[in-house]
Amino acid sequence: MSFRLKDKEITPPVMLAPLAGITDLPFRTLVSRFGAGLVVSEMIASGEFLTERPGTREKAELGAQIENTSVQIAGRAPGPMAEAARMVADMGARVIDINMGCPAKKVTGGWSGSALMQVPDHALSLIEAVVDAVDVPVTLKTRLGWDDSCLNAADLARRAEAAGVQMVVIHGRTRCQFYKGRANWAAIAEVKNALTVPVVANGDIVDAASARRALAQSGADGVMIGRGAQGAPWTLAQVAHDLFGAPAPVIPQGADFVDMVAGHYEAMLDFYGPDLGNRVARKHLGWYMDRVGTDGAARGALLREKSPAAVLARLPDALNRPFCPSGAAA
């Protein structure tokens, strides 16, 4: 099973969701190595990107030219969104995604992300500006609505398709739900029925069983997985195998698992530099230890280390133990 975004084939239709501070280049590279139809970058704020605010340019070193990478941009004004899209396309981006789903207050307070669902005419002006600015496929990620009194995802998605958007991803919650409760996959069916372009279900999809239920309830063409891949970068490939017959991933255990984590850690050091890389890596190391049930003493010792060499030396003790390789973290 697959679908196309203009001349780009998405196969298998299992995608990595954009997660701020998590889906950086080292993590996306690792997930892609196991297998994924598409991986989406961390969100780039268009205004900050254009003014080269410290840190934004580094975040934009996203491997945009890598074949299965989509670059996500956000903003509140058509001009900066269009210019950021052009710059990202010039960097080699194969797909550009528009963020209209982020629920964070620092994003919605600036009338970006899911706040735009409250002003659909303005949201459409941003979508049109981005589509008109680039030749690569443009996609849209959003939610069911702002709150239960504003469930306008289907209407916004229909207008986005008419403007030229090639795929719509729906997180099955409203903005005001944030990440509470359960994602309403059945509500995504209204969006699917309103469109001819592919629709992708997102929210609470962590393994093959939840992906199968999400597809059945929504009628979507694919799934997008975020937190289910934390500590288990093979999750997307496993879901693709179980649902769509893609090759089964070789899930590392024991010493092989330690080697994979060490490689991820070293890639983060290379990407961020040793000091920042060590700090940013701690959350990933924590998720890997959750996966194998590392005891508190070994966990604390590893996360307190400031020396990369010492972290690498402690990894075998912390991680070389049996574990369950299912998609959802323990």
Active site residue ranges: 102
> Between the CA of residue 13 and those of 2, 5, 39, 229, what are the distances in Å?
6, 12, 11, 16
- Which residues, 6+ apart, have CB-to-CB distance to 106 below 8 Å? none
Whole-number CA gyration radius for the chain: 19
Tell me the two tokens of residue 42.
């961390």
Any idea of the CA torsion for 283, 289, 295, 298, to the nearest 10 degrees?
Answer: -70
d(CA 155, CA 142): 12
Q: Is-contact 96 45, C-beta < 8 A?
A: no
3-state secondary structure 198-240: CEEEECCCCCHHHHHHHHHHHCCCEEEECHHHCCCCCHHHHHH
Give the H/E segment covering residue 95.
Answer: strand 95-100
Residue (of 145, 133, 122) closest to 76 by Cα position: 122
Ordered DSSP codes for 102-131 = ---HHHHTTT-GGGGGG-HHHHHHHHHHHH
Instruction: Kindly report whether the peptide bond that precedes residue 12 is cis, defined as omega within 30 degrees of 0.
Output: yes
